Structures are given as C-alpha cells and as structure tokens.
C-alpha cells in the first residue's frame, strides 16, 4: 500500500488502470472490516451511480481509533494549539480520544440521535470538533460540518436542506484578537429551522448564552452522565458518512455526500502516500475542519493512518505573522500542509517573521486550495523548507474526497506550479469544448475523469438529479471537475483554475450566483453581476457590478451596506472587495450577462474585449469601462 520509489509508483499506477478492482481491493484489505465486500466496484457515470466495496460492513471510527489502541494507544492522536500562544497546548492520545468519542457518542444516542440522522456541527477549531465528528460516525449519524465563518442564514439553509435534528456548537470562538459568538448565531439560525430537537453547547469563551429549556444542553454536563463504552455501529460501505456543502456555479450550495467505505480507503491511502507519513511524525494541516481538507486531512486520513494530527485554533497572523513558524518549532512539526493564500499573506510580512525560528524539524510540505504561483512556491520551498523538503502541490476537490493529482513527497520529480501526476487509480482526461478528448502531451483544456475512484462524490443530498447535471452531463460518460488545466511535454498536469462561475477567494470556494443573490436582497439594488479578479494575496477578489434603483447619494455608505448584507446572508468570506455602480449590465439579446466582458474590465484589461457582436447595447460597456475601479 505504501509506495516508496518512483518505479513503484509507475507500477502501482499501471496496475490501477489495468485492474482497478484488484488494485483497490488490495488497498482496502489493509483496513478493518466487519464483513468483507462482495463486489469491489459497480458504476454508471450516465446515471451518476458509483458503488465501492458493496456488501462490505465497517465503522470508520474502528479504523481511526480502536484499531490503533493496542499498538499506539498512548501516542498523541491530536495535538491542539490554542488561539492564544500563552495558553496551554493539549495533547490527546488515541486512548483518550477513543474514550471521549465513545462518551460523546453515548450523549448523542441518549438524546435520540440514530443511525442515518443528520447532525449539524458548528464549532471552532477545538478538539471537541474532532470528537463530535467521530462520535457521529461512531453511531452512524451523518455529520454536516458548517464552517464557523458562515452566517445564521447559511447555517439555517444547510440545516433545513439536510433536516438535521441536532446541532453541536460552542458558546463562542476565539479567532485571533476577536471573540465570535457562535451559539447566538445558531439561535438566530434556529428561528428558521423546525427539524432541530436539541443543541449541545460546548464552553469555550464563557460568552453569555441563552440556553433554552428542553432544547439546549451543556456538553460538559452531558458527558459526565454517560458510559465510556460505545459499540461502533456496523455500517454498509455505501452508507453515507457525511454531507459537506460546497458552492457551485448556480443556485444554493450543494450537499456533497461521501460514504463510509470508499471515502475511508481513499482518504487514508492518499494521506499515507502523498505525505509519505512515517510513524511518530507530527503532521500539521492549517485548514479548518469545516472544509473538505480538514475532513480528509486533519481528521479521517491522518487518524486512519495512526498519525499525530495538529489542530490549530487560531489564525496565521495572530499574535503576529510568525505564529505558524512558532508552532512548527514548539511542536517539532515534520509535515506542514497549507494554502497558497496563507503563504502569500505571510510572504508579504517579510522574512523577519521567519528568521529566528528553528524550522529544522520540517521534512515535507504541502499546498492545497488554489493554483500556487511560482513566487509563492519558491518562497515556501526555500524559506520554510530550507530547500530540502519536498513540496506536494495537491489538486483535488470537495467532490473528490481526497487528493487526485499530486507529487508523492520526495518521490515524484517536482515542477513549480505543477500538481504533477495523477495518483494511482486516477485517470484524468483533457477535453475540448465539444467534449472531445485531447490526447498527447503539450495540450490544454478542461479537466475530466474517465474512471471512478473510491472517494468520488456519491450524490448531492436530497437531489440526485443535481449531481448528475452538475458533474456528469457536461461531458457524457465523464466526471467534469470544473477546472481548466494543461498537460506539458512530460505529461505533468498544471491546474489553471475554474472555468465555470465559481470563485476561489483565499482558498474558499464561492459561487458568483450566491453572491449576486445576496447583493440583490439589499433594498435599492435592482440587479448585480459578480466576477473574480486577480488579487495578490487572496488569489481572487470579488468584483460586483451593481445597478441601484437610483443613484446612491453616498456611494461609500451604500457599498458598506451591500457588504453588510452579503455578510449577513452568506458570511464575511463572501464580501465583495469592489463594488462598482453601473446603469446597465452587458447582456446578450437572449438576456444572458456576458461575464467575460466584466471579467476583462475587472482586470483592467479594457483594450480587447473580444467578440461583442451578440451584445444588446454596446453603450453599456463604454459606461462600465469609464467607471471601472
């Protein structure tokens, strides 16, 4: 299962293409199953149907916890670094984590949560978040983690879509110098949710909260009164494990569903191989568990590998821009997995923040979330990795469950800005606009997958048709990623970014339609169009063109009101960076907004706007150009 040389990678890759079922069966055998599977794979991309390890029975927490207790029960499973560096870090062994997960699983059961029920988790980056996630998995409840930066309305939409009957949250959250009220936000969300029977509240900030009799429960109180034994629920390989909402080019975020067997195999296999994890290494992923990177590479992948996973509560710039390097030194971190936006931000503070920190424990680096530019790649490699750490630029998506295209650290030859080669089991194809495969090297186009892998999305919760439409209908017979890419002369892949209306702002995935809908909810807004533009630190910034009912008297104030509205409707991560008031939008005769033109203008690229012959009213474009920010 572990690949140690490039030749071994080539052999594994060939085998995975020639005999995918044989290949994945061998990988899956390394895990603990209650019952073996009957069929490794059945699939039909036209119907968006994929099943792995059918008939197999397992519980992922037995693989993440129980399986390790005899050998490494006393090894830290989690090291937790709090927001405030003066506060004490906490180390939680596999034994203790097992105990806490079982207890909390019993709390969930006691309050009526059953296999198949949906549980919404809205927590800061504290060990309890991992405990809550694993406790759900222990009893077969489907967790839906909502990132702590989302608004009450976003939480409500997600709770209602999945009809969650339980919410797990905290009184508040520490994030840098801020204290964020979490329970208050949940309370506001719950005004619009009827399915929720109980809310469990963990104490973090001692922020005053209103606890509703009969509904709300204190975490600390509840865990006192339960048993520490909780048998793991036997799960079919294709039973859902979790739902994670992610933005697309249209409509509200979709609930991406991953299932127990395939997801586990894929998350753990990719973790062990990409990072070449060795026993006792300390691994630090800076993502939030509210995103897929946190699910797969803070919780499930590392724990199913018996790794030590560091969880950081705060932000890289608090108390100052040296915080990550302090953490690396303090906990002797061996593997650091972070995002280009974090690297660019820390880069901008200068090397003084890096100097003076002993980073010699670092052995391997990783990057994820967006294309990494050449400057950031070299800065990370040289100044953080001292030019002797491999750097894995890992390309993947919420929908893929795990890393798809990436170097194996220290094994695959690297090229700056290239995600390099597909992992074993992954069969990428590049297609043109007509869906025709472009073969050979030195080509570019849209990135698709022509064969399933165990971590592939199974459905979008409650709406399978949407899953089919979004991922399997653009290019029939293939999974469409939404990304553009090129394959160079050596067959190496470089992902160039989204080709649809999805933005990537500081590694956060945001749909332009979502932001437009939020802006349009503001009083006095007639219509809006949102595009992404190149931003030095965030990767992309949000540029909104807004038609106001009447010319705003105080444009600056109106901009702030719009930002506040977006914050309220989606969350602060979706606030537009620029708002330009316009009198019209460039539309085709059939009424479609020509975003291509708006994108060019937002980049300051006014000269050549391309073909504008289908434009209804060219004068609109001249107006917008004149007012460009």
Query: Which residue of 144, 165, 397, 540 would you call a contact of ligand 7RM, by CB under 6 A?
Result: 397
- Asked if residues 123 and 175 have their Cβ atoms less than 8 Å apart, the reply is no
d(CA 334, CA 237) in angstroms, rounded, equals: 33
Query: Which residue of 143, 487, 498, 522 would you call a contact of ligand 7RM, by CB under 6 A?
Result: 498
The one segment of 354-362, 492-500, 519-527, 534-542 that binds ligand 7RM by CB under 6 A:
492-500
Contacts of ligand 7RM in 139-158 (CB under 6 A): none
- Asked if residues 404 and 452 have their Cβ atoms less than 8 Å apart, the reply is no
Beta bridge partners of 309: 78, 283
What percent helix, strand, coil does the chain show, rounded to 5? 35, 25, 40
- Asked if residues 200 and 107 have their Cβ atoms less than 8 Å apart, the reply is yes
Supply the minimum distance, in Å, between the C-beta of residue 495 and ligand 7RM: 4
- Dihedral sign, Cα of residue 593, residue 595, residue 601, residue 606: negative
* Token digits of residue 387: 């030019």
d(CA 396, CA 388) in angstroms, rounded, equals: 25
Residue 396 contacts ligand 7RM per CB under 6 A: yes
In the shown chain, the binding pattern of residues 204 to 243 toward ligand 7RM, with x for contact by CB under 6 A and - for none, equals ----------------------------------------
The one segment of 105-113, 329-337, 384-392, 480-488 that binds ligand 7RM by CB under 6 A:
480-488
The kind and range of the H/E element at 94 are helix 94-110
Query: Which residue of 169, 308, 398, 602 would you call a contact of ligand 7RM, by CB under 6 A?
Result: 398
The one segment of 5-13, 463-471, 478-486, 537-545 that binds ligand 7RM by CB under 6 A:
478-486
Q: Which residues contact 111 (CB under 8 A, 6 or more apart)?
A: 166, 197, 198, 200, 217
d(CA 315, CA 311) in angstroms, rounded, equals: 11
* Token digits of residue 592: 């479609």
- Dihedral sign, Cα of residue 601, residue 604, residue 609, residue 610: negative
The one segment of 31-39, 79-87, 494-502, 536-544 that binds ligand 7RM by CB under 6 A:
494-502
Spell out a b/e string for 448-470, using b for 16 or more CB atoms within 10 Å of the CB, else e.
bbebbbbbbbbbbbeeeebbbeb
> Is residue 220 helix, strand or coil?
helix
Q: Judged by CB, which is closer to ligand 7RM: 181, or 497?
A: 497
d(CA 283, CA 286) in angstroms, rounded, equals: 10
Beta bridge partners of 198: 166
In the shown chain, the binding pattern of residues 447 to 466 toward ligand 7RM, with x for contact by CB under 6 A and - for none, equals --------------------
Q: Judged by CB, which is closer to ligand 7RM: 168, or 505?
A: 505
d(CA 120, CA 133) in angstroms, rounded, equals: 10
- Asked if residues 422 and 403 have their Cβ atoms less than 8 Å apart, the reply is no
Q: Judged by CB, which is closer to ligand 7RM: 174, or 471?
A: 471
Supply the minimum distance, in Å, between the C-beta of residue 409 and ligand 7RM: 14
Contacts of ligand 7RM in 103-132 (CB under 6 A): none
d(CA 426, CA 409) in angstroms, rounded, equals: 17
The one segment of 276-284, 457-465, 496-504, 546-554 that binds ligand 7RM by CB under 6 A:
496-504
In the shown chain, the binding pattern of residues 501 to 540 toward ligand 7RM, with x for contact by CB under 6 A and - for none, equals ---x----x-------------------------------
Query: Which residue of 246, 338, 446, 512 would you call a contact of ligand 7RM, by CB under 6 A?
Result: 246
d(CA 481, CA 559) in angstroms, rounded, equals: 34
Contacts of ligand 7RM in 353-372 (CB under 6 A): 368-371
Helix ranges (DSSP H) in 246-359: 260-274, 292-294, 301-305, 323-331, 340-348
Determine the residue with CB nearest ligand 7RM: 398
Q: Judged by CB, which is closer to ligand 7RM: 37, or 300?
A: 300
Supply the minimum distance, in Å, between the C-beta of residue 484 and ligand 7RM: 9
The one segment of 25-33, 286-294, 437-445, 596-604 that binds ligand 7RM by CB under 6 A:
286-294
Query: Which residue of 80, 245, 300, 395 would you call a contact of ligand 7RM, by CB under 6 A?
Result: 395
Q: Judged by CB, which is closer to ligand 7RM: 339, or 518?
A: 339
- Asked if residues 27 and 265 have their Cβ atoms less than 8 Å apart, the reply is yes
Q: Judged by CB, which is closer to ligand 7RM: 395, or 545?
A: 395
In the shown chain, the binding pattern of residues 400 to 429 toward ligand 7RM, with x for contact by CB under 6 A and - for none, equals -------------------x----------
Q: Which residue has the tokens 């991922």?
A: 471
Cis peptide before 319 (omega within 30 of 0): yes
How many residues belong to the site for ligand 7RM (CB under 6 A)? 23
Instruction: Tally helices (H) and strands (E) across the chain.
Output: 20, 30
Supply the minimum distance, in Å, between the C-beta of residue 397 and ligand 7RM: 4
d(CA 13, CA 306) in angstroms, rounded, equals: 25
Supply the minimum distance, in Å, between the C-beta of residue 394 and ligand 7RM: 5
What is the DSSP-derived secondary structure letter of residue 231?
A: P
Query: Which residue of 497, 552, 599, 628 would you call a contact of ligand 7RM, by CB under 6 A?
Result: 497
What is the DSSP-derived secondary structure letter of residue 554?
A: S
Q: Judged by CB, which is closer to ligand 7RM: 270, or 602?
A: 270
d(CA 264, CA 336) in angstroms, rounded, equals: 22
Supply the minimum distance, in Å, between the C-beta of residue 18 and ligand 7RM: 27
Supply the minimum distance, in Å, between the C-beta of residue 482 and ligand 7RM: 5
Q: Judged by CB, which is closer to ligand 7RM: 333, or 457?
A: 457
d(CA 199, CA 438) in angstroms, rounded, equals: 52
The one segment of 143-151, 357-365, 407-415, 481-489 that binds ligand 7RM by CB under 6 A:
481-489
Q: Judged by CB, which is closer to ligand 7RM: 18, or 374?
A: 374
- Asked if residues 31 and 268 have their Cβ atoms less than 8 Å apart, the reply is yes
Q: What does the binding site for ligand 7RM look like in residue numbers (CB under 6 A)?
A: 246, 291-293, 368-371, 393-398, 419, 481-483, 495, 497-498, 504, 509
């Amino acid at each position: 299962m572990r690949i140690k040389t490039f030749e071994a990678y080539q052999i594994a890759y060939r085998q995975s293409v020639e005999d995918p079922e044989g290949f994945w069966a061998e990988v899956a055998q390394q895990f603990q199953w209650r019952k073996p599977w009957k069929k490794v794979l059945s699939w039909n991309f036209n119907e968006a149907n994929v099943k792995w390890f059918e008939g197999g029975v397992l519980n992922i927490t037995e693989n993440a916890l129980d399986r390790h207790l005899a050998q490494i029960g006393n090894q830290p499973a989690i090291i937790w670094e709090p927001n405030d560096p003066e506060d004490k870090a906490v180390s939680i062994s596999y034994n203790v984590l097992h105990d806490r997960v079982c207890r909390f699983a019993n709390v969930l059961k006691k309050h009526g949560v059953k296999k198949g029920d949906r549980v919404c988790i809205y927590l800061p980056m504290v060990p309890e978040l991992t405990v809550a996630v694993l406790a759900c998995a222990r009893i077969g409840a489907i967790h839906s983690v909502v990132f702590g930066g989302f608004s009450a309305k976003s939480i409500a939409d997600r709770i209602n879509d999945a009809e969650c009957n339980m919410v797990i949250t905290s009184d508040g959250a520490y994030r840098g110098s801020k204290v964020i009220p979490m329970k208050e936000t949940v309370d506001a969300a719950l005004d619009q949710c009827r399915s929720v029977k109980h809310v469990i509240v963990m104490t973090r900030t001692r922020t005053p909260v209103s606890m509703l009799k009969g509904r709300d429960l204190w975490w600390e109180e509840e865990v006192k009164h339960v048993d520490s034994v909780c048998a793991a629920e036997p799960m079919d390989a294709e039973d859902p494990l979790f739902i994670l909402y992610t933005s697309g080019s249209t409509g509200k975020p979709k609930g991406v569903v991953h299932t127990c067997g395939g997801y586990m195999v894929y998350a753990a296999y990719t973790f062990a191989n990409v990072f070449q994890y060795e026993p006792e290494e300390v691994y630090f992923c800076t993502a939030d568990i509210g995103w897929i990177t946190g699910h797969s590479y803070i919780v499930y992948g590392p724990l199913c590998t018996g790794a030590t996973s560091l969880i950081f509560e705060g932000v890289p710039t608090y108390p100052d821009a040296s915080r990550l390097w302090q953490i690396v030194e303090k906990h002797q971190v061996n593997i650091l997995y972070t995002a280009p936006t974090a690297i660019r931000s820390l880069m901008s503070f200068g090397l003084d923040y890096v100097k003076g920190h002993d980073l010699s424990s670092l052995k391997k680096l990783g990057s994820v979330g967006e294309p990494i530019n050449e400057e950031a790649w070299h800065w990370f490699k040289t100044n953080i990795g001292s030019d002797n750490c491999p750097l894995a630029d890992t390309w993947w998506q919420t929908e893929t469950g795990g890393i798809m295209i990436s170097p194996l650290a220290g094994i695959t030859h690297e090229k700056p800005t290239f995600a390099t080669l597909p992992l074993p089991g992954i069969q990428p194809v590049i297609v043109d606009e007509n869906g025709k495969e472009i073969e050979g090297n030195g080509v570019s186009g849209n990135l698709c997958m022509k064969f399933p892998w165990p971590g592939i999305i199974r459905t979008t919760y409650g709406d399978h048709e949407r899953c089919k439409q979004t991922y399997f209908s653009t290019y029939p017979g293939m999974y469409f990623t939404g990304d553009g890419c090129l394959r160079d002369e050596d067959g190496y892949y470089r992902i160039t970014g989204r080709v649809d209306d999805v933005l990537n702002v500081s590694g956060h995935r945001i749909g332009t339609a979502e932001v437009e809908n939020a802006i349009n909810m503001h009083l006095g807004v007639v219509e809006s169009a949102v595009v992404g533009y190149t931003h030095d630190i965030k990767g992309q910034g949000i540029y909104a063109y807004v038609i106001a009912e009447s010319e705003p008297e105080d444009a600056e104030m109106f901009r702030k009101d719009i930002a506040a509205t977006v914050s309220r409707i989606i969350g602060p991560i979706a606030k537009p960076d620029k708002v330009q008031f316009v009198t019209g939008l460039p539309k085709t005769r059939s009424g479609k907004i020509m975003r291509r033109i708006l994108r060019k203008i937002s980049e300051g690229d006014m000269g050549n706007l391309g073909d504008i012959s289908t434009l209804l009213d060219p004068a609109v474009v001249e107006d917008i150009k004149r007012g460009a920010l």
